[in-house]
Amino acid sequence: MRVESQVTSLSWIPSEAVKGYTRPAFTVGIAHYDDPPPDKVGDLEALRGADGFRFANRLTAWAEFTDGRLTGHGVDGGLVMGATTMRLGPLGVTFTAFSLPDLRPEPEIGDGWIRFTQTAGGRTAMPFPRRISRPPYMRLQSPLVWTTLALTLHADGHASSTLEGASPFPRHWVYGADGVLAQKAGVTDFEAWAGQEGAHRTPWGDEDSPVLVTAAETALEREMSTLIMRGGHRPTIRSLAAGEALIRQGDPGDALFLLLDGVLSVEVDGRRLPELGPGAILGERAVLEGGRRTATLTALTPIRVAEAPAHIIDKAALARLAEGHRREESLT
């Protein structure tokens, strides 16, 4: 039996993700945040031509099994790097990215399976002044970005993929063999990324960065997130430390929240439910069900949320969202 599959990561800069002294370049339009990538990826080159991501990592592999025993295998793919454009008024300057060599160790082979791993990344050629902790205490070179993907092929014909590691910035989304968005890196850390001192603490040195992975939110939530962030009403951006509660069950509330970064725990009547990651829309059930919060949401990591009034979203859409958010009922 021949088994083939692929996994792809796209990396992009979401709204409000940049902090510190580099933030003004984004707020005045010299640099730019990115629109979220599509729910499904097909033609990667066309998406790059449309400036649809900062960089991508695509891993494709095949394996031949005879009576459950591996008899042949192959792997392909690698980095697909975008470009960065800076604008001053009507003028734009595009900086081509610098690619690092793909890292692809020998695959792991087990009883009826083979596992491939690939790290791909690089840096933009755009100057990026930043402080570091050792002499000369300042670097102009942009930090490295990367993802590490793993793809496992099994003798019974199925395949599985994971995001094994990634740079702490920007946002990383992972698409399965069907090209559909499946996973997200749960946390971005611009400050840690900007303080990168060199390649020695990256996969091209002596370590990778572990990544907290969350499931992708629904297509409806992605539509609503665009309304919250790009609609006529500018949301309030809030930051919470790990351990702080965003809302508590039973409290009054009529605002909606979009989780921009980080991971939230969900608790209903003292019962822990599946965790939430970036892109989740929160708070709609209180708007529809009497104005009281129906769950307690607590930050498991530092989080950023956008808070917006509920009236910016059509109530029929909120009702469809709420139907899918009755998580306590899905576990009974």
Query: What pLDDT digit, counting tens, does each position of 8-35 carry?
Result: 999 998 876 666 545 544 444 445 678 8
Inter-CA distances, 91 with 128, 185, 247, 299, 311, Å:
19, 34, 45, 42, 38
Q: In the prediction, which pLDDT does 151 show?
A: 97
Intervals of CATH 2.60.120.10 along the chain: 219-330
Q: In the prediction, which pLDDT does 84 show?
A: 60
Q: How are the residues of the chain apportioned to helix, strand and coil, as percentages rounded to the nearest 5?
A: 15, 45, 40
Higher pLDDT pick, 234 / 16 = 234
Reduced to 3 states, what is the DSSP secondary structure of residue 311? helix
Q: Is 199 exposed, middle or buried (0-12, 13-18, 19+ CB in 10 A)?
A: middle
Most trustworthy range by pLDDT among 127-141, 219-233, 290-304 = 290-304
Best CA proximity match to 237, nearest among 283, 296, 162, 303: 303
**pLDDT over 70 (residue 319):** yes
Encode burial over 274-311: b for 16+ CB neighbours within 10 A, e otherwise.
Answer: ebbbbbbbbbbbbbeeeeebbbbbbbbbbbbbbbbebe
**pLDDT over 80 (residue 207):** no
Biggest CA–CA distance in the chain, Å, is 64
Of 43-57, 157-171, 220-234, the range with the lowest mean pLDDT is: 220-234
pLDDT more than 90, % of the chain: 42
Most trustworthy range by pLDDT among 54-63, 78-87, 142-151, 225-234 = 54-63
Q: Which amino acid is at 31?
A: A
User: How many CB atoms neighbour CB 323 within 10 A?
Assistant: 11
Best CA proximity match to 215, nearest among 255, 298, 273, 271: 273
pLDDT tens figures, 290-316: 889 999 999 999 999 999 888 887 778
User: For 81-91, what is the mean pLDDT?
Assistant: 59
pLDDT tens figures, 150-172: 999 999 999 999 999 999 998 99
What are φ and ψ of residue 154, in 5° steps?
-115, 150
**pLDDT over 80 (residue 197):** no
Binned at pLDDT 50, 70 and 90, residue 79 comes out as: very high
Q: In the prediction, which pLDDT does 135 show?
A: 62
267: CB partners within 8 A, 6+ apart: 249, 273, 295, 296, 297, 298
Best CA proximity match to 264, nearest among 274, 275, 272, 273: 275
3-state SS string over 191-246?
A: HHHHCCCCHHHCCCCCCCCCCCEEECCCHHHHHHHHHHHHCCCCCEEEEECCCCEE
Question: Does residue 170 have a cis peptide bond before it, meaning omega lies within 30 degrees of 0?
Answer: yes
**pLDDT over 50 (residue 244):** yes
pLDDT tens figures, 259-293: 988 999 999 999 999 899 988 888 888 888 888 99
Q: In the prediction, which pLDDT does 173 show?
A: 94
3-state SS string over 117-154?
A: EEEEEEEECCCCCEECCCCCCEECCCCCEEEEEEEEEE
CA-to-CA distance for 27 and 194, rounded, in angstroms? 18
Of 123-127, 174-178, 279-283, 308-312, the range with the lowest mean pLDDT is: 123-127
Domain 219-330 class in CATH = mainly beta
Best CA proximity match to 109, nearest among 71, 78, 76: 71
This prediction has a pTM of: 0.76
Q: In the prediction, which pLDDT does 264 show?
A: 94
Of 74-78, 134-138, 307-311, the range with the lowest mean pLDDT is: 134-138
Binned at pLDDT 50, 70 and 90, residue 246 comes out as: very high
Q: In the prediction, which pLDDT does 92 show?
A: 53
